[in-house]
Amino acid sequence: MFSHVRELIGENNIEQCGLPFSAAVTNMQLTGLLAPMSWNGYWLVDGAVVN
């Protein structure tokens, strides 16, 4: 899957993105426990959400 996405958009660095980017990292293994939450017009979800 990652190779297909790379073919579509190429390889870019985060520093080259046109939009600001941020990420949060945790060491918790309890995914899927937190309900989605609306904050400043965005929906925040935990790492267990998949498409």
Helix/strand/coil (H, E, C) string of 17-43?
CCCCCCCCCCCCCCCCCCCCEEECCEE
- Whole-number pLDDT of residue 8: 84
pLDDT band at 51 (very low <50, low <70, confident <90, very high): low
pTM recorded for the entire structure: 0.33
Rounded distance, CA 4 to CA 35, Å?
31
**Of the given ranges (25-29, 32-36, 43-47), which has the lowest mean pLDDT?**
25-29
